[in-house]
Amino acid sequence: MHRPMLSLNRPPCDDGVVRSAPDTPGCAERAKPWVLAATILGSSMAFIDGSVVNVALPAIQADLAASVSGAQWVVNAYMLMLGALMLVGGSAGDRFGRRRIFALGIIIFTAASVACGLAPNTTALIAARAAQGVGGALLVPSSLAIIGASFPKEERGSAIGTWAGFSALTTALGPVLGGWLVDALSWRMIFFINLPLALITLAIAFRYVPESRDETNDAGVDWRGGLLATLGLGAVVYGLTIASDLGWAHPAVFGALLAGALALALFVRSEAHAPSPMMPLGLFQSATFSGANALTLLLYFALSGALFFLPFNLIRLQGYSATLAGAAFLPFTLIMGGLSRWSGGLFDRFGAKWPLIIGPVITAAGFALFALPGIGGSYWTTFFPAMVLLGLGMAVSVAPLTTAVMDAVAERHAGAASGINNAISRVAGMLAVALLGAVAVGVFEAALDERVAKLQLLPEVRQALEAEVPRLAEAEVPPQVDGADRTVLARALDESFLQSFRVVMLIATGLALASALCAALTIRTSRDRIARQSGISTTRPS
C-alpha cells in the first residue's frame, strides 16, 4: 500500500481513511481537480502548522517569557483538541455534510490562527491553539472523507498519490519556511500565512466541491464520548505538566491525574453503550489491531517527544538559526517521502511483522545517535546521521503499520480503525510532550544543582537560578552575575540542558525498542497473511 510522507510527526493511516470509504460513483469529472486542490490546501494548513510550530517554539518561549510548561501547552492545547475530537469531527462530516464541516473547520482554524498571531501573552496563545485544534479536528478528517466520497475506488489510488505528493512537498518545505519567517519577520507570521490559504481553499470548496454525506447512517454524533475524552486527556496532561513545577507528590498533581483517569474510565464505559461510538471497543478484540495501536502509542510517543526538544538543542545550544533548524529536518522528511512507495512493498514481500520489528529498531538507533553530540561540531557529523536513521526507520515502519491496522478488522470497520489509529498517534504525542517535559525539567534541575554546588555563589544568585529552572533551554544567567562567573554559569546551564536532552533521547530509544517488542508479540507473521489471503481466518472477527 502506498504511503504518503509524514509531517514531522504526522500520524499513520491518513490514506487508510480514504481507501476505506464505501464505493461511490464520485463527482463530476471537471470537479475532481478542484476537489484535490481544496483538500490539499486545507490539509496543508494543518500539516504546515504542525511542523513549523516546533521550530518556532524557542522564539515563542523567549518572546513571551514562558516557562517550559507554557511551551508544552502551546503544543498540547492543539494536540488535545485535535486528538480527542478528530473522531467526532469525522462523524459530524458524515452526518451533516462533509463540505460543510470542512469549511467550518477551516473558518475556525483560520480565526484561531489570527488569534495566535495576535496573542499578547502565553495564556492567550494557548487558548487560541486550543481553538485551532477544534478547527483541525473538523478540517482534517473531512478533507480525507471528501476525497473518499468524490473518487470511485478505482481512481482513489491516483488521487491519494497526488494528495500525498503535495503533502510531501509542504511537509519538507514547511519547517524551512517557518524558520525563515521567524528569522526574517516574527514567529507570529507562521500563523498569519494560514489566512490567504484559507480564503483560497474556501473559494474553491464552495465553488467546485460537491456536498456529500452518509445517507445510510442515521446514528447521532458521539458528543458525550468526545467531551469525556477531552476532559480525561486534558486532566491527565495538566497533571503531568504541572508536575515539573510542583513535584509528583503535590495534591494538585495527584488530583488532576485521578480526575483524568476517572473521566477516561467513564469514556470507556460510555463507548461500550453508545449507539454510535466514536471508538468501537469491539475492534480491540483483534490482537493485531490492539498490538498495532500499542505500537503506535509507544513509537509516536518517542517520536513526538524527541521532535519537541530537538529544535531547542539546535537553536539554543548549537547556535542554529530557525531557518537552519528547519532545514536540519529535511533528511528525515525527504527519506520518508523518497522511500514511501518502496516501504509500501515491504508488506507484500514480508508481511507486517518483520518491518514493524526492524523499523522501530532502526528508529531507536536514530534516537540513540541524537544523544551523542555535545555542544558544537558540524551538522554532518552530529545530527545528520541521526536524521537519516530516523527517517529510514519510520519509512520502514509506517506503511506496514497502516496495512496491519486496516487488515486487522473487517472491511466495514476500516474507516473507524484508521481513525482510531490516527487519534492514538496524536494522543501519544500530547502525552509525550507533557511527561517528557516534566522529566527533562527534573533532570535539568538536578544537573544544574550539581554544577552550581561546586561554585561559590551568593544566596540571591542561587535563588535567581532556581527561578530560571522551569524555563529549561531558555534559562538565563541572572543579570547580577558578570565577568568570568557569568561565562561559567552560562556553560553550566547549557551542559545541564544537554544532559536533560540526552535523557529524553535515551527514553525515546527505549520506547522505540519497546514498540518493536510489541510488534514481535502481537503482529501476525507472514504465514498468517498467506493463510488469510487463502481465505483462512486467523483473527476473531471484530
pLDDT at residue 527, rounded to an integer:
43
Q: What is the SS3 assignment for 43-100?
A: HHHHHHHHHHHHHHHHHHHHHHCCCHHHHHHHHHHHHHHHHHHHHHHHHHHHHHCHHH
What tens digit of pLDDT does each residue of 329-364 get?
989 988 877 776 676 666 667 777 888 999 999 999
What tens digit of pLDDT does each residue of 297-325 get?
999 999 999 999 999 999 999 999 989 99
What is this structure's pTM? 0.83
DSSP 477: -
Contact 512, 358 (CB under 8 A): no
* Least confident span in 153-157, 196-200, 212-216, 538-542: 538-542
**Which is nearest to 144 in space by CA: 135, 132, 156?**
156
pLDDT at residue 88, rounded to an integer:
80
DSSP 7: -
pLDDT at residue 157, rounded to an integer:
63
3-state secondary structure of 212: coil
Report the pLDDT averaged over residues 463-485. Answer: 82
pLDDT at residue 392, rounded to an integer:
93
Query: Which of 39-43, 109-113, 250-254, 467-471 holds the top average pLDDT?
Result: 109-113
pLDDT at residue 17, rounded to an integer:
55
pLDDT at residue 86, rounded to an integer:
80
Report the pLDDT averaged over residues 169-189. Answer: 84
Cell triple for 177:
519556511
| Ordered DSSP codes for 378-432 | -HHHHTHHHHHHHHHHHHHHHHHHHHHHHHTS-GGGHHHHHHHHHHHHHHHHHHH
Q: How far is CA 70 from the centre of its chain?
A: 18
> Quick one: 451 exposed, middle or buried, by C-beta within 10 A (0-12, 13-18, 19+)?
middle
pLDDT at residue 26, rounded to an integer:
52
* Least confident span in 58-62, 66-70, 256-260, 403-407: 403-407
For residue 41, CA distances in Å to 109, 111, 140, 392, 436 come to 13, 16, 11, 27, 33
Report the pLDDT averaged over residues 488-506. Answer: 94
Q: Is the pLDDT of residue 413 over 90?
A: no
Q: How far is CA 274 from the centre of its chain?
A: 28
What tens digit of pLDDT does each residue of 362-394 get?
999 999 999 999 998 999 999 999 999 999 999
If pLDDT is split at 50, 70 and 90, which confidence band does 420 have?
A: confident
pLDDT at residue 278, rounded to an integer:
77
